[in-house]
Amino acid sequence: MKDKRVTIDDVAAAAGVSRQTVSRAINDLPGISIATRERILTTAQQLGYRPSGIARGLANAGQRTRTFGVVVPTIDNEFYAAVLHGIKDLTSARDYHVFLVDTNEDPATEYRRIQSLFSLWIDGLIICSSRMEDQQLAEICSQLRPVILLNREFIHPHAGNVLIDDAEGTESAVRHLVECGHKRIGMILGMPVSRSSENRRQGYLRAMHQAGLPVEPGWMLHTGAQLDAAYTAGKPYLQAHPELTALVVYNDVRAAGLLRACAELGIAVPGRLSLASHDNITLASLVTPSLTTVDIPKYEMGRRGAVMMLDMLTDRRLQPETIRLTPRLVERESTATPNAKGAPIQ
């Protein structure tokens, strides 16, 4: 800290060569004999020389700082933690570093923090479940390449996509409930700004339509991201809609909140009310009853995104792709045939 930093010039002087030759040795570039390369690397080692990423970034005008940003709505949700985990392994192996941005589910914060990241000359950006408008995404893509969008479709020559078919996932959940014999099925949605929530809503409506089942507007409810929020909002909702025998829930966290509400209201799950949710995070299999849920390949999503990003960074001519991953319904205890008489709950 206090003792002067070791620079490339120090190494050059110690090895009796020019700065450029040291650079060649360090970066494994041609135009240097094997003997001198060895010698330079040894003295660099001895001096404890560590090339400055900052100076490198400046020198090549921000072409590569070996850093990129990863943006998630909230690190608190295991879903995003799993995505991050998929990104991390690749990153660590290739010696990149990631700036983590948590937007608190707020589009304005998302935009502001990403803009702020740009001053650090990041090489690329992975945005998970972006809540921003298309226009803002376009602006960001115009300033940077590549930008990889996870769980959010956006077409742009700089933007790659890793998507899961949200509508299809929800449809499969609704179909499952219909096959169980349910006719009055409600839906708990996510935040209004969430695209996934909207897509899943579309899937719900489509599946209900195809099954020839009616949907009341009051059967759909938006809730906050936290378990408590779903619990709080869910309680009056459940009381107001005793006619429902099944619910499709936006994600497992909210389903857990509803489970608690059901327990307090004396609504048996799946006896009186069946619950099917999305994500398949750890708690889905741990709560009682365990949750029937649409599994999203979270780790895979992160991993594929990171692969695309690093590939595009390695070969700048590479074009971004659109990868579609398929969700898969996992049947557990929270769904069952409605009670014999088909009687409304309560």
**Site residues (CB under 7 A) for DNA?**
5, 7-9, 16-21, 23, 26-27, 30-36, 49-52, 55-56, 58-61, 63
Minimum CB separation of residue 56 from DNA in Å reads 4
Instruction: Give the integer Cα–Cα distance in Å for 53 and 56.
Output: 5
Site for a copy of itself in 98-117 (CB under 8 A): 98-102, 104, 109, 113, 115-117
Contact yes or no for 140/125 (Cβ under 8 A): yes
- The residue range among 17-25, 119-127, 169-177, 197-205 that interacts with a copy of itself, by the rule CB under 8 A, is 119-127
Nearest to 207 by CA among 235, 243, 253, 165: 165
Instruction: Give the integer Cα–Cα distance in Å for 302 and 162.
Output: 8
Q: How far is CA 276 from CA 165, 170, 182, 214, in A?
A: 17, 9, 12, 18
Specify the DSSP element, H or E, that contains 72.
strand 67-72
Instruction: Give the integer Cα–Cα distance in Å for 230 and 165.
Output: 24
Q: Is 53 in the site for a copy of itself (CB under 8 A)?
A: yes
Which of 8/213 has CB closer to DNA? 8
Q: Is 256 in the site for a copy of itself (CB under 8 A)?
A: yes
How is residue 278 annotated by DSSP?
Answer: E
Q: Is 60 in the site for a copy of itself (CB under 8 A)?
A: no
- The residue range among 34-42, 97-105, 169-177, 195-203 that interacts with a copy of itself, by the rule CB under 8 A, is 97-105
Q: How far is CA 76 from CA 105, 196, 250, 342, in A?
A: 11, 18, 17, 39
Residue with tokens 């602006």, as numbered in its chain: 139
Which of 33/319 has CB closer to DNA? 33
Nearest to 252 by CA among 213, 207, 298, 206: 298
Alpha helices in 166-226 (DSSP H): 166-180, 195-210
Instruction: Give the integer Cα–Cα distance in Å for 20 and 315.
Output: 25
- The residue range among 15-23, 36-44, 89-97, 334-342 that interacts with a copy of itself, by the rule CB under 8 A, is 89-97
Minimum CB separation of residue 47 from DNA in Å reads 11
Minimum CB separation of residue 48 from DNA in Å reads 11
**Site for a copy of itself (CB under 8 A): which residue of 27, 119, 135, 319?**
119
Instruction: Give the integer Cα–Cα distance in Å for 72 and 78.
Output: 11
**Site for a copy of itself (CB under 8 A): which residue of 54, 108, 268, 343?**
54
Terminal-residue alpha carbon distance, the chain: 69
| 23 contacts: CB under 8 Å, gap ≥ 6 | 8, 29
**Site for a copy of itself (CB under 8 A): which residue of 13, 26, 37, 52?**
52
Contacted by 49, from DNA, a copy of itself, none: CB < 5 to 8 Å by type? DNA
Which of 76/295 has CB closer to a copy of itself? 76
Which of 52/202 has CB closer to a copy of itself? 52
- The residue range among 14-22, 27-35, 91-99, 185-193 that interacts with a copy of itself, by the rule CB under 8 A, is 91-99
**Site for a copy of itself (CB under 8 A): which residue of 16, 42, 45, 97?**
97
Contact yes or no for 65/120 (Cβ under 8 A): yes
**Site for a copy of itself (CB under 8 A): which residue of 39, 41, 62, 90?**
62
Contact yes or no for 261/272 (Cβ under 8 A): no
What's CA 343's distance to the chain center, in Å? 40
Site for a copy of itself in 159-198 (CB under 8 A): none
**Site for a copy of itself (CB under 8 A): which residue of 21, 65, 277, 292?**
65
Could you check whether the bond before residue 107 is cis, i.e. omega within 30 degrees of 0? no
Query: Interface with a copy of itself by CB under 8 A: which residues?
Result: 1, 5, 50-55, 57-58, 61-62, 65, 67, 70, 74-76, 78, 81-82, 84-85, 88, 92, 95, 97-102, 104, 109, 113, 115-121, 142-145, 158, 227, 256, 259, 282-283, 286-288
